[in-house]
Amino acid sequence: MNIAKVIVDIPVSSINQTFDYLIPEKFQDILSIGMRVIVPFGPRKIMGFVVDRTSESAFDKLKEISDVLDLTPALTTELLDLGRWVANETVSFYITALQAMLPQVLKAKYKKELVRMTDSELPPYLEELFSGRDVIAYEEFEGSVISYYQLQKAVQDGDISIDYLVKSKITKKHVTMIAPSRDLHLLEEALQDLSKNAKKQKQLLQYFLENSEPIEKKLLLERLQTTNQTVKILIDKALLKSYQVEVYRNPYDDDAFQRTTELELTDEQEIAIKPIKENIANNRHDVFLLHGVTGSGKTEIYLQAIQDVITKGEEAIVLVPEISLTPQMVNRFKGRFGSKVAVMHSALSAGEKFDEWRRIQRKEVQVVVGARSAIYAPFENIGIIIIDEEHETTYKQEDQPRYHARDVAIYRGKTHECPVILGSATPTLESYARAQKGVYKLATLSKRTNEKAMPEVEIVDMRDELHAGNRTMFSRELKDKIEHCIQKGEQIVLLLNRRGYSTFVMCRDCGHVKECPHCDIALTYHKNSNQLKCHYCSYEEPMPMNCPECTSDLIRYFGTGTQRVEEALTKLIPEASVIRMDVDTTRRKGSHEKLLNQFAEKQADILLGTQMIAKGLDFGNVTLVGVLTADSMLHLPDFRSSEKTFQLLTQVSGRAGRHELPGEVIVQTYTPDHYSIELASKYNFNDFYKKEMTTRKTFQYPPYVFLALLTISHQNKVKAVQTAQKIVQLLMKNIQNDTVVLGPTPSPILRVKDRYRYQCMIKYKNEPQLRSYINKILDLFAEESRKEDLLITVDMQPYHFM
């Protein structure tokens, strides 16, 4: 077995195959599958993953592995398999899929050090290597006679640790501990024997006689006002010892969490959790769709199911959307499971993320709560995977590999024979349809746990406001309610639904929006050409001067930012204090939390923000929620726009009246009759589902078909168009009868960073060979891509059509 199969780090052409390398003698004993290595490749040396070891190769004259980067595999065999599946599913490179599973620190340029972790005598060869030092460069080991096997052994025993020195020094942190190294009575004897003058030494020994626990050296010196020198004398006398421990940069103070205990479940919760618990007990894999209104106690179900998993000695992965990974959320898991919980959040520093990842790898925790990439947590005995707010589009990665965490979760759930729970108040049509067909098991929580009714939603028609002479963006109704609320000392959440602004054209008089006659998608306004275009099928028409419905000349495209709304708001209601939350005010690390805390502490009357305020927040004093423009998302060139509007309105309404005080919601809109607005205001998911499914069926969108989106970009417009056309022709030749290839059409944003982008969309029901056709096409253009900077991106489950 002296040959390693290595996947190398060059995602330029379709190098998905492995390369064989000879394993030099010195690595024979230590090299295992999943480790990262450095190998010669052409003139360069590059990184790769060992995916297999064999004794035979079809090639002779193999090159040797130059270096081994890990002494503990970075990836388990399960993750290696998973990576292959992800790469295939998403039409990505295997290496890219593997890289996506690792924390940043392991991807960056590294320099390594060996850190001595113990004061006890090491084997002589290691003593010689360290020669009195605590930390040495890794190269010193490489230049020595010590074998990799000997080092690996010392690492496994915990005597030596390998540190990565990344550019910004985001590495492990060590502290020196001091502890007695003899029995206490020997310390006592030593104390008696000390001369009178050795006051400092006496003081130190006295301290340890009273506190025999190890203490951090820095703290000890501070506490006793003593010196390093004194400590060293006692260490030399073998009365005390010093050693290093690794401290994790735990960003959450575990002690600060109020411990919680299991609540007695409601009848609905009992019914919902039962089959999940059975799954756990019997090592069965099912996917459960937990459809529960906001505040219905989904999280409590997660917690109790996880408890079963922990008791069984297995592990749990919980995914929550980035945006709702707030301290409030983390609290609920740490409150129940304390230090058994690791948190993977993008706001952590790279070093903190690495620490959390290592705690998972070393099985020091049993639960991970994190955003999308936590689905790759290197647990080996997963007992449950939970995806909260399963409808959130952030679970889809918009970068290679373009995977959806839900799919990865289900794949891992199958491998580990454990349940997967998808929770939401507004499930995606895809998931709900699967539950209807029995592919997923549906569990429903229809009531809030406190039996409180959902807040009343009132729809305000902004066309009427305009006709009554109110040209501000606040209806009279909303203004009155805000003022009333402030007087009572209660708080308000205002949502400005900004996604999609300035793209669609609407008549402010009658609310008419121009749509494509072929696609049921709002046309997009192109300022340069003054044209309206469909980004699915290329249909276009000139921007009208008057509304085709009512002839009004107030037909415009939309555009307002949060900052302008804030200004208008403070002008309209000067006594209101406002906290604004949008991409601008939350750019700095921690600012998101800071603003929310300020609002929770009632430092402001109004929280004004974009989508990011719609979810997961739980403020008892909020009694009014206002949605300024419910329609802005409705007319995006996206077949999911009605669904997204319904989801957003439902989520934001759930923010009001969650506790004692009753809540109220005002939704301002120019299209009050649109079914997604109407049905969201009545919390009627079932009717929305039926209605939306009909639309999807008529226009052939998911879940009735699958989509794939190919985007071709190049600096030269003609080149981009021609390539796109060629690709469409190639696809047409290979596909089955009921598959449709649309395009090429310009992407909604045609030119990005000087590149022209054209796309074609494939709608298919059953096309088992599609991935391999696409791969063939990519191969065909590989040369051109490399030489002429042509870019072809493939998205097998598109969510963004921009």
Ligand X SMILES: Nc1ncnc2c1ncn2[C@@H]1O[C@H](COP(=O)(O)OP(=O)(O)OP(=O)(O)O)[C@@H](O)[C@H]1O
- Annotated binding residues for Zn(2+), written as ranges, equal 507, 510, 516, 519, 534, 537, 547, 550
Binding-site residue positions: 507, 510, 516, 519, 534, 537, 547, 550
H-helix segments, 654-788: 675-681, 685-699, 717-734, 770-780, 782-788
Binding residue for ligand X (CB under 6 A) from 32, 118, 206, 449?
449
What is d(CA 70, CA 36) in angstroms, rounded to the nearest whole number?
6
Return the residues of window 739-798 that contact ligand X according to CB under 6 A: none
CA distance 323 to 315: 24
Q: Is 294 an interacting residue with respect to ligand X (CB under 6 A)?
A: yes
Look up residue 390 and give its two tokens: 């399963």
Q: Which does 135 bind (CB under 5 to 8 A by kind): ligand X, Zn ion, none?
A: none
Using the rule CB under 6 A, is 266 a contact of ligand X?
Answer: yes
Binding residue (CB under 6 A) for ligand X from 34, 48, 73, 295: 295
x/- mask, ligand X, residues 347-376, rule CB under 6 A, reads ------------------------------
Q: Considering only 249-257, 260-268, 631-639, 641-649, which stretch makes contact with ligand X by CB under 6 A?
A: 260-268
CB of 432 to ligand X, least distance (A): 16
Note whether 506 binds Zn ion by CB under 5 A: no
Among 48, 292, 351, 672, binds ligand X (CB under 6 A): 292
Stretch that binds Zn ion, among 209-217, 531-539, 582-590, 748-756 (CB under 5 A): 531-539
What does the alpha-carbon distance between residue 385 and residue 361 come to, in Å, rounded to a whole number? 17
Q: How many angstroms separate the CA atoms of 493 and 496, rounded?
A: 10
Which residue of 10, 265, 442, 604 would you call a contact of ligand X, by CB under 6 A? 265
Answer yes or no whether residue 455 interacts with ligand X by CB under 6 A: no
User: What is residue 154's three-state secondary structure?
Assistant: helix
Identify which of residues 138 and 432 has a Cβ nearer to ligand X in the complex.
432
Distance CA 48, CA 9 (A): 5
Does position 298 interact with ligand X (CB under 6 A)? The reply is yes
Q: How far is CA 253 from the centre of its chain?
A: 22
What distance in Å separates the CA atoms of residue 134 and residue 244, rounded to the nearest whole number? 9
- CB of 638 closer than 8 Å to CB of 430: no
CA-CA distance, 221 to 240, in Å (whole number)?
Answer: 14
Q: Between residues 406 and 615, which has the closer beta carbon with respect to ligand X?
A: 615
Q: Is 663 among the residues that bind ligand X (CB under 6 A)? A: no
Decide if residue 654 touches ligand X (CB under 6 A).
yes
- Given Zn ion, ligand X, none, residue 134, with its beta carbon under 5 to 8 Å by kind, binds none
Instruction: Verify binding: residue 269, ligand X, rule CB under 6 A.
Output: yes
- Calculated CA dihedral for residues 226, 229, 235, 240, nearest 10 degrees: 10
Site for ligand X in 610-629 (CB under 6 A): 616
Q: Which of 181, 299, 475, 785 binds ligand X (CB under 6 A)?
A: 299
Interatomic CA distance for residues 339 and 366, integer angstroms: 9
221 lies in the site for Zn ion, by CB under 5 A: no
Q: Does 179 bind Zn ion (CB under 5 A)?
A: no
Task: Please measure the distance between the N-terminal and C-terminal CA atoms of the chain and give it in whole angstroms.
Answer: 50
552 binds, among ligand X, Zn ion, none (CB under 5 to 8 A by kind): Zn ion
In the complex with ligand X, the residue whose CB is nearer, 57 or 621, is 621
Cβ atoms of residues 655 and 457 within 8 Å: no
Contact 200, 227 (CB under 8 A): yes
Residues touching ligand X, count (CB under 6 A): 17
Least CB distance from residue 466 to Zn ion, whole Å? 11
The reply to whether 425 sits near ligand X by the rule CB under 6 A is yes
Measured from the CB of residue 546, what is the shortest distance to ligand X in angstroms?
A: 45
- Strand partners for 287: 420
Q: What DSSP line would sit under 589-636, residue for residue?
A: TTHHHHHHHHHHTTS-SEEEESGGGSSS---TTEEEEEES-TTTTTTS
| C-beta of 7 vs 369, nearer to ligand X | 369
Q: How far is the CB of 301 from ligand X (least distance, A)?
A: 8
Which residues are CB-neighbours of 792 under 8 A, at least 6 positions away? 710, 711, 712, 723, 727, 777, 778, 781, 785
β-strand 287-292 against 441-445: which pairing, if any?
parallel
Q: Within 10 Å of residue 264's Cβ, how many Cβ atoms?
A: 7
Q: Which of residues 536-575 bind Zn ion (CB under 5 A)?
A: 536-537, 539, 547, 549-550, 552
Q: 141 exposed, middle or buried (CB, 10 Å; 0-12, 13-18, 19+)?
A: buried
User: Residue 245 and residue 694: Cα distance in Å, rounded?
Assistant: 62
Q: Which of 135, 186, 263, 453 binds ligand X (CB under 6 A)?
A: 263
Binding residues (CB under 6 A) for ligand X: these are 263-266, 269, 292, 294-300, 425, 449, 616, 654
